């Protein structure tokens, strides 16, 4: 079974997914509290793994060295802090700077994983259904730009492979000059393909009357009762977290002196709301997967 077909969250109305990712990425970028950063990593990693399976596992493993490198580099640049762990190149390597680097690295990893989940869930048709009627030209241009990079990477591999088949490619032991010339030839062919594709796309859109009337969608998305209830629940959870942010209950400072708000009392309730908010897609995915397995076992 296709993983997206097994994802209950992907079946919701596009506005649910869009607002969720705006909230997850937005609140994740605002909060430097280590507990909240860890919750964001766990929520993003869980949903990313459920969406991508074994491929997602490989990406998650790649994020570990990224996290470690960024964490240990920060104290080399930022020497603020009261607890000196050691000296590197004659400069103090402090505990506060290391923890701050870990938090920033964790935030970056979480944002990358949430972006990967967004690309899998928010398809082009969902994006166009939300913004195609409001800003058709801008939404179309944004969609084409987002598609351009992966298309160009794929086309580059195709061009290089085709040139190797006719004996025009280069090998590892070829001189650097030949490699540079071959790269320029590939880039030239790639730019020609991109320009021709742009002209063809523009002509096709004009001939089909794009922008002359109200745009229709390939897929019709209807806001159902389930979507409304989910929006209300996510809105309540996000409001609880935003209240904590405004009150300063999620504040955390690391340099030059470390000061982190405790996650206790009312702060604990807000943290639990944040965790539920971030885990909601994974919870819905697992709920659908379990229901599907139960129904399949009964056949």
Section 117-144 average pLDDT: 71
Residue where a domain terminates, one of 176, 207, 238: 207
Number of H helices, E strands in the chain: 8, 4
Here the tokens at position 223 are 């806001």
DSSP symbol at 259 = E
Q: Residue 51 to residues 27, 35, 76: CA-CA distances in angstroms?
A: 22, 24, 37
Is pLDDT above 90 for 40? yes
Q: Between the CA atoms of 117, 118, 120 and 124, what dihedral angle is there, to the nearest 10 degrees? A: 180
Q: How far apart are CA 7 and CA 285, in angstroms?
A: 5
What's the chain's average pLDDT? Answer: 82
Assess if residue 4 is contained within a domain: no
Reported as a single tens digit per residue, the pLDDT across 264-286 is: 888 899 999 999 999 999 998 88
Let me know whether 115 and 48 are in one domain.
yes
For residue 125, pLDDT beyond 60: yes
Taking CA atoms, 278 is separated from 21, 47, 156, 224, in Å, by 9, 9, 37, 22
Mark whether 139 and 122 lie in a shared domain.
no
Is 214 contained in some domain?
no
User: What is the tally of structural domains in the chain?
Assistant: 2
Q: Is 184 exposed, middle or buried, given 0-12, 13-18 or 19+ CB atoms closer than 10 A?
A: exposed
Decide if 220 contacts 8 (C-beta within 8 A).
Answer: no
The whole-angstrom separation of Cα 273 and Cα 135 is 34
187 and 245 in a common domain: no
Return the closest-CA partner of residue 113 out of 42, 30, 210: 42
| Least confident interval from 40-54, 62-76, 208-222 | 208-222
Same domain, 123 and 180: no
Name the residue range of residue 186's domain.
133-207
Domain annotation covers residue 225: yes
Same domain, 60 and 88: yes
Report residue 163 as tokens.
């040139």
Per residue in 169-224, pLDDT tens? Answer: 766 677 777 778 888 888 888 888 878 877 887 777 777 776 666 655 555 678 88
| Residue 246 sits in the same domain as residue 264 | yes
Token digits of residue 292 = 């599907």
Q: Which residue has the tokens 């030209």?
A: 137
Mean pLDDT along residues 31-37 = 92
pLDDT of residue 93: 83
Domain boundary (173, 207, 241) is at: 207
Residues 36 and 140 grouped into a single domain: no
**Residue 253 and residue 280 share a domain:** yes
Q: Is the pLDDT of residue 65 over 50?
A: yes
Tokens of 51: 């969406």
Q: What is the model's pLDDT at position 1?
A: 45
Instruction: Tell me whether residue 213 is in a domain.
Output: no
Phi and psi (nearest 5°) for 260?
-125, 130
Average pLDDT estimate for 143-160: 76
The DSSP-derived string for 166-180 is TT----TTS-HHHHH
Q: What are phi and psi of 40, to 5 degrees?
A: -65, -40
Same domain, 254 and 137: no
pLDDT digits (tens, 9 = 90+) for 211-264: 666 655 555 678 889 889 999 999 999 999 999 999 988 988 888 788 889 888
Residue 65 lies in a domain: yes
**Domain edge (last residue) among 207, 229, 244:** 207
C-beta of residue 21 within 8 angstroms of C-beta of residue 114: yes
Q: Which residues lie below 8 Å from residue 2, measured CB to CB, with a gap of 6+? A: none
Residues 246 and 186 in one domain: no
Tokens of 102: 């870990």
Q: Other CB atoms closer than 10 Å to residue 81's CB: what's the count?
A: 22
Are 149 and 293 found together in one domain?
A: no
In a domain, 212, yes or no: no
In a domain, 271, yes or no: yes
In this structure, are 119 and 46 located in the same domain?
yes
pLDDT of 45 higher than 90: yes
Answer yes or no: is 95 within a domain.
Answer: yes
Q: How far apart are CA 21 and CA 113, in angstroms?
A: 11
Which of these ranges, 48-57, 142-151, 160-169, 276-285, has the smallest mean pLDDT?
A: 142-151
Q: How far apart are CA 151 and CA 166, in angstroms?
A: 23
């Amino acid at each position: 079974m296709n993983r997206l077909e097994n994802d209950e969250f992907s079946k919701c109305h596009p506005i649910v997914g869009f607002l969720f990712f705006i909230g997850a990425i937005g609140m994740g970028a605002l909060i430097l509290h280590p507990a909240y950063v860890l919750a964001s990593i766990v929520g993003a990693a869980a949903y990313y793994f459920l969406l991508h399976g074994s491929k997602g596992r490989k990406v998650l493993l790649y994020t570990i060295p990224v996290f470690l490198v960024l964490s240990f580099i920060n104290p080399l640049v930022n020497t603020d802090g009261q607890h000196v762990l050691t000296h590197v190149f004659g400069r103090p390597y402090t505990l506060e700077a290391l923890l701050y680097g870990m938090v920033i690295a964790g935030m970056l990893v979480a944002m990358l994983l949430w972006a990967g989940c967004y690309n899998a869930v928010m398809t082009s048709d969902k994006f166009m259904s939300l913004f195609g009627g409001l800003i058709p030209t801008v939404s179309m241009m944004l969609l084409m730009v987002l598609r351009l990079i992966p298309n160009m990477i794929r086309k580059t591999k195709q061009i290089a492979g085709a040139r190797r088949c006719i004996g025009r490619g280069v090998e590892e032991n070829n001189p650097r000059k030949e490699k540079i010339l071959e790269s320029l030839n590939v880039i030239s062919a790639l730019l020609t393909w991109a320009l021709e594709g742009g002209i063809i796309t523009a002509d096709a859109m004009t001939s089909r009357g794009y922008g002359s009337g109200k745009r229709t969608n390939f897929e019709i998305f209807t806001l159902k009762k389930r979507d409304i209830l989910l929006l209300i629940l996510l809105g309540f959870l996000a409001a609880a977290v935003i209240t904590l942010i405004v009150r300063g209950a999620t504040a955390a400072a690391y340099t030059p002196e470390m000061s982190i708000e405790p996650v206790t009392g009312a702060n604990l309730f807000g943290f639990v709301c944040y965790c539920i908010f971030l885990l909601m897609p994974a919870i819905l995915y697992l709920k659908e997967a379990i229901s599907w397995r139960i129904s399949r076992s009964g056949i």
